[in-house]
Amino acid sequence: MPAPGQRVRVRDDWPETRGPCHIRTPHYLRGREGTVLRHLGDFPNPEDLAFARPAARLPLYHVLFDRTVLWPEGRAGDEVLAEVFGHWLEEA
């Protein structure tokens, strides 16, 4: 489980290319690095709930990204805060 302050990378995975699915992780975050701010709790996996499948409880995190990492027109100091499930995060 990532700890607050830890650098993480969002998995660069595109399951939607392999068939019908529900993805809660925004495409613009995939492959990008950010910093874990906090663990928000454990919640049923929405990627399973969308198809009425049994859903394991997974950790959900607030992850902070420097906006210039996501979009070149961002200004230094601008940030984007996103909620990302733990199975999408890996060590940076």
Locate the domains of the chain by residue range.
7-91
Alpha-carbon distance of 13 to 32, in angstroms, equals: 11
Alpha-carbon distance of 41 to 76, in angstroms, equals: 30
Question: What CATH number belongs to 7-91?
Answer: 2.30.30.50
pLDDT at 31: 97
Task: Dig out the tokens for 5 from the structure.
Answer: 């302050």
pLDDT at 74: 73
Indicate whether 85 pLDDT > 80.
yes
Alpha-carbon distance of 57 to 45, in angstroms, equals: 6
Q: Which residue has the tokens 């399973």?
A: 48
Indicate whether 76 pLDDT > 90.
no
Positive/negative CA dihedral, 78, 69, 9, 19: positive
